Amino acid sequence: MLDNFIIYLTTEKRYSQHTIDAYERDLSQFIAYAEVEKINEFNDLSSTFIRGWIVKLFEDKKKAKSINRKLAALRTFYKWLRKEELVTNNPMTKIQGPKNEKRLPAFAKESELQTEKLDEMYADSIEGKRDKLIFEMFYQTGIRLSELIDLRVQNISNESIKVIGKRNKERIIPISKELYHEVHSYIQLKNNYLGESIFVFSLKFGKKLYPMLVYRIINQYLSLATNLDKTSPHVLRHTFATHMLNRGTGLETLKDLLGHANLSATQVYTHNSFAQLTAIYSHTHPRGGKK
Query: Is pLDDT of 273 > 90?
Result: no
Is 83 among the residues known to form the active site? no
Active-site hit among 15, 23, 186, 269: 269
Q: Which residues pair with 152 in a beta bridge?
A: 199
Please state, in angstroms and rounded to a whole number, the distance separating the CA atoms of residues 58 and 67.
8
* Structure confidence by residue, pLDDT tens digits, 50-83: 999 999 999 999 989 899 999 999 999 999 999 9
Is 144 among the residues known to form the active site? yes
Contact predicate 289/279, CB 8 Å? no
Active-site hit among 130, 132, 144, 243: 144
Query: Is pLDDT of 133 > 80?
Result: yes
Contact predicate 166/132, CB 8 Å? no
Task: Give pLDDT, residue 274.
Answer: 63
Q: State how far the alpha carbon of 4 is from the alpha carbons of 32, 77, 81, 93, 247, in Å.
A: 18, 11, 10, 22, 47
- Cβ neighbours of residue 290 closer than 8 Å, sequence gap 6 or more: 282, 283
Task: Give pLDDT, residue 172.
Answer: 95
At 14, is the secondary structure helix, strand, or coil? coil
Is 166 among the residues known to form the active site? yes
CATH topology of domain 110-283: hpI Integrase; Chain A (1.10.443)
Residue 125: closest CA among 194, 42, 52: 194
Is 271 among the residues known to form the active site? no
Contact predicate 140/149, CB 8 Å? no
φ, ψ at 287 (rounded to 5°): -105, 20
Q: Which CATH class is domain 3-94?
A: mainly alpha
Active-site hit among 70, 132, 190, 237: 237
Task: Give pLDDT, residue 284.
Answer: 66
Is 237 among the residues known to form the active site? yes
At 195, is the secondary structure helix, strand, or coil? coil
Please state, in angstroms and rounded to a whole number, the distance separating the CA atoms of residues 60 and 66.
11
Is 283 among the residues known to form the active site? no
Active-site hit among 82, 129, 166, 171: 166
Domain locations along the chain:
3-94, 110-283
Instruction: Report angle CA 16, 21, 27 to the nearest 5 degrees.
Output: 125
Higher pLDDT, 282 or 4: 4
* Structure confidence by residue, pLDDT tens digits, 153-207: 999 999 999 998 887 889 999 999 999 999 999 999 999 999 899 999 999 888 8
Active-site hit among 69, 70, 255, 260: 260
Indicate the pTM of the whole model: 0.67
